[in-house]
C-alpha cells in the first residue's frame, strides 16, 4: 500500500471515531436534557427525630516542629498543656521528614562507611 492509501485509511478511521463520539455525545445530551426538565427531588429533614447515638472519638495528630522542641521553644510547656486540655482519647505524635533531626535518633555519629548499616541491630 502506498502513502496515499495509508493516509486515506487514517482519515477514514478518524472520521469513524469522530462519528461514534458524536453519536454517543448526542445521546448523552438527550438524557441530560430529559433529566433537567424533570421535577426536582424534594428532601425533607426532620431535626426533631433521633435515630441513633453517634460514637465519635476525638483524635489528634501533632506534627513535629521547632515550636514543640524543649531545647528551642519558650512556649512548648503551654503548647503541651493546651493539648492535654483537649482530652483526646487517641493522640499521635508524627515526626516526619521536614525536620529529620527531630524524627531520626542518631545513637552514634555517622561514620560514612555504611548507609543504614545498623538497622535491626
> Could you state, in order of their start, the residue ranges of all structural domains in the chain?
1-37, 59-103
pLDDT string in tens for the chain (121-residue length):
588 777 788 777 777 767 666 566 666 666 666 666 667 788 888 888 888 888 888 788 888 788 888 888 899 899 889 888 888 888 887 776 677 666 666 667 767 666 655 555 5
For residue 64, the tally of other CB atoms under 10 A from its CB is 18
Distance CA 97, CA 103 (A): 7
Burial environment of residue 81 by CB neighbours within 10 A (0 to 12, 13 to 18, 19 or more): exposed
CA 121 – CA 117 distance, rounded (Å): 9
The three grid cell numbers given for residue 20, joined into one nine-digit string: 461514534
Q: Are 74 and 106 in contact (CB under 8 A)?
A: no
The confidence score (pLDDT) of residue 59 equals: 80
> In the prediction, which pLDDT does 56 show?
83
Q: Give the end-to-end CA distance of the chain in Å, rounded to a whole number.
A: 69
Amino acid at each position: 500500500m502506498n502513502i496515499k492509501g495509508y493516509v486515506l485509511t487514517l482519515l477514514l478511521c478518524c472520521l469513524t471515531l469522530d462519528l461514534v463520539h458524536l453519536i454517543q455525545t448526542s445521546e448523552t445530551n438527550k438524557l441530560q436534557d430529559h433529566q433537567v426538565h424533570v421535577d426536582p427531588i424534594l428532601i425533607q429533614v426532620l431535626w426533631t427525630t433521633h435515630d441513633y447515638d453517634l460514637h465519635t472519638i476525638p483524635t489528634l495528630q501533632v506534627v513535629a516542629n521547632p515550636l514543640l522542641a524543649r531545647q528551642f521553644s519558650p512556649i512548648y510547656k503551654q503548647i503541651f498543656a493546651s493539648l492535654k486540655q483537649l482530652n483526646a482519647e487517641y493522640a499521635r505524635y508524627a515526626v516526619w521528614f521536614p525536620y529529620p533531626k527531630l524524627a531520626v535518633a542518631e545513637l552514634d555519629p555517622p561514620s560514612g562507611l555504611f548507609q543504614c548499616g545498623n538497622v535491626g541491630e
